[in-house]
Each structure stands twice: as C-alpha cells, then as structure tokens.
Chains A and B, each alone.
Chain A
C-alpha cells in the first residue's frame, strides 16, 4: 500500500440485520474511498445516507458485511492503527463525574502517555480550547459548546495522525464554529489528515480539500472542492436532489 494513503475502503458494504439475522437496511453499498496523507476530506450526504456507518467502519467500531477497510494499511481494530487515530463524535459523550482536566488526562492515559507528558499535553490543550479557567470543574455542568471543546481536546491528546470529526461544529455558536474551523485548518496545515462529516455545506466548503457525497449508501459524487466550479450547495443539490424539500412540499400540500 502507498505510504501516503491513510484511509482505504474497497467495495465496502454494510447491511444491518434484525434479531433473526434477516437483512433490514443496506446502509452502505459497495463504497470505494481513499484519503491521502494531509488531506481534509468531507463526507457529505443527507440523513440516512450512510455517513455515520462509514465512519464507524473506519474507526473499527463496525465490521463491514463485504469489502475491506484499512487505515495506515492496518485493520482499524488493531491497537497500532487506533494509536494513530483521534475521534470527535457528533455528541460529546463525556463522563459526567470527571472534570475537564481529568477527562483529557483519562484519554491521555489510554493513549499510553506518561503521566508528566499527559499533564503537560493536557495543559496545552486546555489552553488551546480556552478552558483553563474551568479545567477543574465537573463537565456535567458544562454548556454544549464547552463540552464540545473538551471532546475535541480529548480527540487531540494522543497527537493523532488521522482525526475523524463527526459534525464538528454541531451545537456550537458562530464564534466557536469559526474557531473550530480555524483549528482544523491549522491541524491540516501541520500535516494531520482529517476526515469529517457535516450537514453544513458551508463548513465543508470552508475546510475540506476533497469531498464525497453519499446517498442511500452509495457515492454519487467525489472531487476536489476547488474543482467544482459552482458552490458546494448547488453541486450537492444537483447530485442528491432536495429530497427533504419534496417531502416538506407534500406535507404542506
């Protein structure tokens, strides 16, 4: 495998089954995807298009029904691959009994960082996400935006080579959204590979080098944002159609 290839999906399908193992939904259907080192790749698509399922397969949380998934040329479930990975889920899912500092220290420990190194890195990250003043407060009382910043710091604590962001600006105010976008761009400038999903096409347009549009589990378009020649929103609607609007029109009629 090419050393510059960070993520590789070949003919990947995922079928969810019911209790009796009968197929229920084909969430992803024969997907091919490659992400190179240092790229910021956007996975776009309407609800139910298979973005989260694809991300879970890349993270090793789901096994594909068919096809192969590798990150850094390794199985995503291998400890070696996971050591090079950072993940920010759509919701922050923080441990309610920990403080912000303890949360980041916990994930630093899971990344096998020595205590002194972990403490130093935690300090840096708390400063970066501007939570130094509330570092020793329980995250249970944090606003959604603050929790999001703790989760982002936790994702970055192991200095990952690949950062997977699921709706990174979800729930953030405009100022925080801008800060996150700036941060992701800075990380990419420093050579970090970023895979992100977003419903906000403007975000993807601002951050991503390359995008793939999914619809009903299949890739309907893929290309560099700079090569589109039109706005991402127009491109998206042309490829996927504004299905939600049709449904809304039916309802209103």
Chain B
C-alpha cells in the first residue's frame, strides 16, 4: 500500500467534502433532526415506548440521510473526476488504481463516521448511558436446515404433498421446509408445560436479573390472552415469574432469583399455561431470554461502529459503481440497489413459494432471493432496533461487521474499481 498517496487522496477527498460545505450541511441537518425527533414521534402512550421510538428514529434518520448523501458522493468520487478529466492527472502519477479507490472510500467513510459520531454524542448526552442492556438469547434448537432435511423424505412420501412439490428439486423443497421449520408453531394447551433449553453467557449467576421475552401472537398476528407461570432452572438455581397479559404482543417477564449462589452455563425455561385457551408460540422467533449485559453507553458505541461499517460498505459500493459507470447511471444503480436491499427480505418473507409457475414471477423471485443473500451482511445487522429496546448489540457481531464491511468489502470493491478504472478513463 502506498501510504503517502493514500493519505494525499484521503485528504483531498475530505478537503473537497469540507470546502464544498457538504459536511457542514450534513452536520446541521443531523443536529436539527436529533433535537427535533423527540417532538415528532409519539409512542404507544408509555414513556418507554416514546424513548424507544426516539432512539430508533433519531439515529436512524441520521443514518438514512448519511446513507443516501454518502452514496451520492461516493458514486461521484471517481465518476465526476473522470468526467471533468481530473482523474487522468492522478492516474499518470505513480499511484496504484486501488490506492485511489481506497483513499476515496476512507475519506467519505470518515466524513460519515464524524457526522454519525456527533449524532451519537447527542444521543448519549440526552440518554442514560448507565441504563442496563441485556444479551438476547434464543433457545438452543436443531437448525431449521437440519430439521428440513429430516422432514424431507417423509414429506415427499406423504400423499397430501402436492405433485408440483414432488417434482421440484431437492434444494428448493428443503429451503421451503426450512422456512416452515423456522416458523413452526408450538401449541401449549391449558395446564401443559413447554420447555426450551438456553446456553448462558459465561459468568451468569443467580444474582443476575433474568427476564424472559415472549411474543404472544398467533399466525394471524393477533394478540393472545395469556396467563401462565415461567421457571428458569439452571444448575441448581431457579428464577421464577408469572405472566398475565391481554394487551401487549411482546412481554418482558422479570424472573426472581432463588438466592442460591450458583454460576450457570445452561438452563431450561419452562412455561406453564394456566389460561383458558391454548397459546401458540414459534420458539425460534417468539421465546427469548434476557441476561444482563453492560450499559446503554457501550451499546451505543457498538451500534455506532456497526452503523459506520454499513456506511463504509455503501461508500465502497458507490465508489465501485462510479468507477465502472457514468455518474448518473451509477447513482441510479446505487439508489435502486439500496431500495432492493431494503425491501427484498420482506418480499421473500411474504412470497416465499419458489414453486411459482409464472416464469416472470419466478425470475423476479429468484432475483429477489439473490438480492437478500447478497445483502445479508447489511440486513442481518439491527443495531438501532437492539439499541432502542436495550438488547445488547453483541461484540462478536460488531467485530464481524467491522471485518466484513470495513475491511473485506472496501478491499474487494477497491480491487474491482482498479480493474475498471483504466478501461473507463479515456472514454
């Protein structure tokens, strides 16, 4: 890596961003939004609901503003210089094309990090940085994929299975079955007990205030009336609580500790249905355990790092598009890609049937599924949702996001840019 050239290009891009007043405009718009957001959003009537909305949408608004504006700047970083013939003056110097792309990616990402950092500081200043957050744990279960493979033979032999499915390729059927397994409902009848196993973070002991989070909705999204008892037993320690709910879809149930001095690594959460009607739960989606983690301040820092990593990925993509295409086409492609990345998961979730017979719909579904898989590194991160509901933005996810979005993606897109820059420069 040519550090001198890298810094020169980095500083040039950053200087242009500052002196063109782009940075000042973004800082001003973000600050106004951060202070205006609490007055714009009304929650569900509770102070907690209002706080969650403000945390989510104030930082989310700044992140969205930065995503669009940085994408516009990134697509122009090389394309505009090429159109105005300035790029050729850089390319005739002893600088590697990859260094040019990396310098621009780093500069725009740094500008984004700066603006987002100011917004995060405002959020930290008005929030309670010591407010506790929790690890969000899911039950330890067989993977939906393995469950689908086990179901496959029996499903194909079942006379009720449609002929069209029997003719489909195995990976298609397994994917459908895996989706079904992921969403599989477990019915807990009156006076029945359902049990789920959880692995606990190292060092969890019975002094920790454990909560169970349960989503009480049926397959039509209707809220259910629930009365029941919850026990969490782990290595001799016992946490207990009760639930009586007829208003909320998602309920956090505090579990009181037994007082025995035990450090546990795993435990069983059981739910006894004492209500009059059966309760339906999708264990993989609807049952979680909340174990105390650190505070809001650290969680905000991790969420900030994840958001910066997402912005870096978008900037890298934008710089690559600007290297390969003219600016208007690159910007259009980038915005469409962003919209597709945002909408595809819900499209695939709502129209999951790969046995679609209409060829146009089938092609559309394949493209959408490919978009979902390609954009998984972004869509799987939910830093703001977690930050708002005080569940921990896990360090390992943050590290993974940094590695993939701030290291691998910029290098990959800079490499691809280096391949196309000399081919496009003299058009």
Contact = CB atoms under 8 A, between A and B. Distances in A.
Given A77-B422, A93-B85, A102-B15, A85 B96 contact: no
Interface stretch (A39-47, A104-112, A199-207, A210-218): A104-112
B85 A89 contact: yes
Given A62-B426, A95-B16, A110 B95 contact: yes
B20 A97 contact: yes
B4 A112 contact: yes
Contacts of A91: 85
Interface string B69-100: 00000000000000011101111111110000
B114 interface: no
Most buried by A among B15, B20, B425, B426: B426
Contacts of B5: 109-110, 112
Nearest to A157: B93
Q: Chain A: interface secondary structure? A: loop
A129 interface: no
Contacts, number: 76
Interface string B10-23: 01100110011000
Interface string B357-383: 000000000000000000000000000
Interface residues of B, number: 27
Contact of B426 (A56, A79, A106, A158): A56
Contact of B94 (A63, A87, A110): A110
A56 B84 CA distance: 16
Nearest to A112: B4
A98 interface: yes
A149 interface: no
B93 A63 contact: no
Contacts of A93: 84-86, 88-89
Most buried by A among B9, B86, B93, B95: B93
B415 to A, nearest CB: 16
B19 A79 contact: no
A197 to B, nearest CB: 15
Contacts of B94: 79-80, 82-83, 110-112, 158
Contacts of B93: 82, 107, 110-111, 158
Interface string A90-122: 010111011000100011011111100000000
Given A83-B94, A93-B84, A98 B89 contact: no
A106 B84 CA distance: 18
B85 A110 contact: no
A228 interface: no
A54 interface: no
Interface string A47-78: 00000000010011111000000000000010
5 contacts: A56-B426, A59-B88, A60-B91, A80-B94, A112-B4
Interface of B: 2, 4-5, 7-9, 11-12, 15-16, 19-20, 84-86, 88-96, 422, 425-426
Interface of A: 56, 59-63, 77, 79-80, 82-83, 85, 87, 89, 91, 93-95, 97-98, 102, 106-107, 109-114, 154, 158
Given A106-B12, A158-B93, 8 more contacts: A63-B422, A89-B85, A89-B89, A94-B86, A106-B8, A109-B7, A110-B4, A110-B8
